[in-house]
């Protein structure tokens, strides 16, 4: 029999039957068939003992490659390896990856350094996170996706044990080539200070003044505490430059926030590029001594709220709000909008207590965001009453709530001034009453509140409250979102006045109000004296304020 060539393809899969690798084995001549089968069986047995997920701890020889697992946690001690996604140098990572690896330095006193060689993941869906320490509770150095990392991206641990932790997650669709990175050990020198960032000033949309403070952060990456060193600041392209001496001590791995004695004039809008450096005798690592950063100073003008007082009584009228610059939006309890851009504040809807009302403005031309917040105190109403006329009976009223179209979007409720619900109705059936019956309601002030889940107001329909066959609104109201509310929510205020019965022959009645200091109004009331005989039949209304 003539020799022939045969190929066996071995697909390595994980427990979810996801294809990880494909390996081809070639053999010649039929007499070697048994040997090839034996090799294949042995390989499968060996592979079946490998760990695919869970927790693993291992040491990796310098120069080896490490492919991130599809899932689970791995801890690796090393000072030199090439780090790939699970697809390796040429393949892509898989969908639904959720894996974490912690790199520990193989040399005592050194720090793990991760240097990106190539990087590509699916933007906005597959994320590569780097933590400055040995777990996911360590400070997050960055959350990267797409092509946000490149060959200039280098991360050095500042953790006490010198570790870095990487977590990678991918969604259920679309994969990319992943990454290739170098893992090495960096051994800090005794003296090593770095400029880790600028705290202020940063880019602003509301402008700066003529004397702005400069605050930077300086990190001690060395093995010894440091003090008595110099820091310098300059604005590139200008003559502004100064150097100051720092006498404070920075302990190992600590960060010092330093504010320059000199200040900046940033009253002119524009872009500024700062150069900040640190100079320490004996510092052998000069690569981290200088930081260049740019800011944009934009002034969209002062932002403020108009029309809003510091406090309101719970039953105060609706307040029309304006913000400057125009075109922003209001948020907070009690805020409603008459679309597209008219805002109101209803104290009773906000509720009793201190409320925060925020005006947010976004400038599309400059991409500037700015906001201002004002606190408003909503005061509860005092409990008021008066005596002298006998017991006041609750009013009997006919409540009618009618749904026309899109009744499944509609609901309603009646609230007292304390925000308590007296009666309410849920969604219903088109062209039918949600409620059509008498209710007993005490005297006082109330709100009929309309809700619409779609946000365009009730589509037809109406509500009305009638006492003695007369509407207290002067006629039925069709909630359309324009009367004190928006398409999703609207308030309609009304008042119920109680009644007392007094015989015409009774002597004048002295009225007493609580709390003291209010006034009475009504027919034939002289100060706080009410005379039934002068009023005549059917009585009179009395109120206390």
Tell me if the pTM is above 0.95.
no
Classified as helix, coil or strand, 287 is helix
Instruction: Identify the weakest region by mean pLDDT among 194-198, 308-312, 420-424.
Output: 420-424
Peptide bond into 371 cis (omega under 30): no
Query: Considering the chain, what percentage of its residues have pLDDT values greater than 70?
Result: 76
Return the structure tokens found at 332. Answer: 């907070």
Domain-wise residue ranges, the chain: 5-48, 55-186, 193-297, 304-379, 385-496, 509-544
Classified as helix, coil or strand, 298 is coil
Q: How many Cβ atoms sit within 10 Å of the Cβ of residue 51?
A: 11
Greatest mean pLDDT among 215-219, 330-334, 510-514 lies in: 215-219
Q: Write down the pLDDT at residue 419.
A: 76
Q: Write down the pLDDT at residue 132.
A: 94
How would you class 262 by CB atoms within 10 Å of its CB: exposed for 0-12, middle for 13-18, buried for 19 or more?
A: middle
Q: Which residues contact 294 (CB under 8 A, 6 or more apart)?
A: 271, 272, 273, 274
Instruction: Identify the weakest region by mean pLDDT among 17-21, 369-373, 473-477, 493-497.
Output: 17-21
Selected residue with higher pLDDT from 334 and 517:
334
Decide if pLDDT at 95 tops 60.
yes
The end-to-end CA distance of the chain, in Å, is 117
Q: Write down the pLDDT at residue 25.
A: 40
Decide if pLDDT at 512 tops 90.
no
Task: Tell me the average pLDDT across 231-258.
Answer: 95
Decide if pLDDT at 1 tops 60.
no
- Which class in CATH covers the domain with range 55-186? mainly beta
Decide if pLDDT at 287 tops 90.
no
Please indicate whether the domains covering 193-297 and 304-379 agree at the CATH topology level.
yes
Entry field: residues in the chain: 545
Q: Write down the pLDDT at residue 47.
A: 40
Decide if pLDDT at 263 tops 50.
yes
What's the pLDDT band for 507 if we cut at 50, 70, 90?
A: low
Fold classification of 304-379 is Immunoglobulin-like (2.60.40)
Q: Write down the pLDDT at residue 9.
A: 44
Q: Write down the pLDDT at residue 348.
A: 83
Question: What does each C-alpha distance from 298 to 266, 363, 368 come to in angstroms?
Answer: 10, 11, 8
> What distance in Å separates the CA atoms of residue 39 and residue 45, rounded to the nearest whole number?
10
> What distance in Å separates the CA atoms of residue 313 and residue 107, rounded to the nearest whole number?
70
What's the pLDDT band for 339 if we cut at 50, 70, 90?
A: low
Task: Tell me the average pLDDT across 123-136.
Answer: 96
Domain 385-496 in CATH 3.40.50: no
Selected residue with higher pLDDT from 340 and 252:
252
> What distance in Å separates the CA atoms of residue 309 and residue 452, rounded to the nearest whole number?
30
What's the pLDDT band for 526 if we cut at 50, 70, 90?
A: low
How would you class 103 by CB atoms within 10 Å of its CB: exposed for 0-12, middle for 13-18, buried for 19 or more?
A: buried
In degrees and rounded to multiples of 5, residue 305 shows phi and psi of -110, 135
Greatest mean pLDDT among 239-253, 376-390, 511-525 lies in: 239-253
Selected residue with higher pLDDT from 17 and 297:
297
Q: Average pLDDT, whole number, for the chain?
A: 81
CA 209 to chain centre: 30
Q: Is the Cβ–Cβ distance between 39 and 6 less than 8 Å?
A: no
Q: Write down the pLDDT at residue 298.
A: 86
What's the pLDDT band for 165 if we cut at 50, 70, 90?
A: very high
Angle at 352 between CA 350 and CA 358, to 5 degrees: 40
Task: Tell me the average pLDDT across 125-148.
Answer: 95
In degrees and rounded to multiples of 5, residue 534 shows phi and psi of -85, -20
Decide if pLDDT at 453 tops 90.
no
If one looks up domain 193-297 in CATH, what number appears? 2.60.40.10
Selected residue with higher pLDDT from 47 and 493:
493
> What distance in Å separates the CA atoms of residue 68 and residue 92, rounded to the nearest whole number?
12
Q: Write down the pLDDT at residue 35.
A: 45
Classified as helix, coil or strand, 180 is strand
Task: Tell me the average pLDDT across 391-414.
Answer: 86
Query: Considering the chain, what percentage of its residues have pLDDT values greater than 90?
Result: 47
Task: Tell me the average pLDDT across 432-446.
Answer: 89
Decide if pLDDT at 44 tops 80.
no
Q: Write down the pLDDT at residue 149.
A: 93
Selected residue with higher pLDDT from 540 and 102:
102
Q: Write down the pLDDT at residue 370.
A: 82
């Amino acid at each position: 029999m003539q020799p022939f060539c045969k190929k066996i393809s071995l697909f390595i899969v994980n427990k979810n039957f996801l294809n990880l690798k494909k390996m081809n084995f070639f053999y010649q001549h039929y007499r070697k068939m048994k040997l090839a089968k034996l090799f294949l069986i042995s390989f499968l047995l060996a592979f079946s003992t490998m760990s695919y997920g869970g927790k693993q701890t291992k040491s990796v020889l310098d120069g080896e490659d490490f492919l991130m697992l599809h899932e689970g946690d791995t801890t690796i001690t090393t000072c030199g390896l090439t780090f790939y996604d699970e697809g390796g140098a040429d393949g892509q990572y898989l969908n639904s990856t959720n894996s974490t690896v912690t790199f520990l330095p193989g040399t005592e006193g050194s720090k793990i350094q991760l240097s990106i060689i190539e990087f590509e993941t699916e933007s906005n869906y597959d994320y590569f996170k780097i933590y400055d320490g040995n777990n996911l509770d360590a400070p997050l150095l960055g959350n990267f996706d797409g092509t946000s990392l490149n060959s200039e991206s280098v991360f050095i641990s500042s953790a006490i044990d010198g570790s870095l932790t990487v977590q990678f997650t991918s969604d259920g669709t679309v994969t990319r080539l992943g990454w290739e990175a170098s893992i090495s050990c960096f051994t800090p020198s005794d003296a090593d200070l770095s400029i880790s960032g600028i705290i202020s000033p940063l880019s602003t949309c509301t402008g700066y003044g003529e004397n702005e403070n400069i605050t930077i952060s300086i990190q001690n990456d060395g093995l010894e505490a440091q003090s008595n060193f110099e820091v310098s600041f300059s604005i590139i392209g200008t003559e502004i430059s100064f150097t100051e001496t720092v006498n404070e001590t920075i302990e190992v791995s600590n960060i010092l926030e330093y504010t320059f004695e000199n200040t900046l004039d940033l009253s002119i809008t524009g872009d500024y590029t700062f150069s900040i450096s640190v100079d320490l005798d004996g510092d052998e690592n000069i690569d981290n001594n200088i930081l260049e950063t740019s800011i944009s100073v934009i002034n969209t003008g002062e932002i403020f709220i108009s029309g809003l007082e510091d406090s309101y009584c719970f039953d105060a009228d609706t307040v029309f709000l304006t913000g400057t610059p125009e075109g922003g939006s209001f948020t907070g309890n009690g805020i409603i909008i008459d679309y597209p851009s008219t805002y109101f504040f209803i104290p009773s809807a906000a509720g009793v207590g201190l409320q925060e009302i925020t005006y947010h403005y976004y400038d599309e031309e400059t991409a500037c965001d700015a906001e201002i917040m004002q606190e408003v105190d909503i005061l509860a109403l005092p409990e008021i009453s008066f005596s002298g006329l006998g017991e006041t009976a609750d009013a009997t009223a006919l409540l009618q709530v009618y749904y026309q179209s899109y009744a499944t979007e509609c609901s309603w409720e009646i609230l007292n001034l304390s925000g308590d619900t007296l009666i309410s109705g849920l969604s219903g059936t088109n062209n039918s009453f949600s409620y059509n019956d008498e209710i007993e309601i005490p005297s006082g002030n109330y709100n009929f509140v309309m809700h619409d889940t779609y946000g365009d107001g009730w589509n037809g329909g109406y509500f009305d409250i009638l006492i003695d066959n007369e509407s207290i609104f002067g006629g039925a109201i069709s909630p359309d979102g324009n009367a004190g509310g928006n398409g999703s929510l609207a308030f309609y205020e009304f008042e119920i006045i109680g009644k007392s019965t007094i015989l015409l022959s009774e002597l004048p009645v002295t009225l007493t109000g609580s709390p003291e200091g209010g006034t009475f109004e009504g027919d034939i009331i002289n100060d706080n004296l009410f005379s039934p005989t002068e009023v005549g039949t059917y009585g009179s209304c009395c109120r206390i304020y």
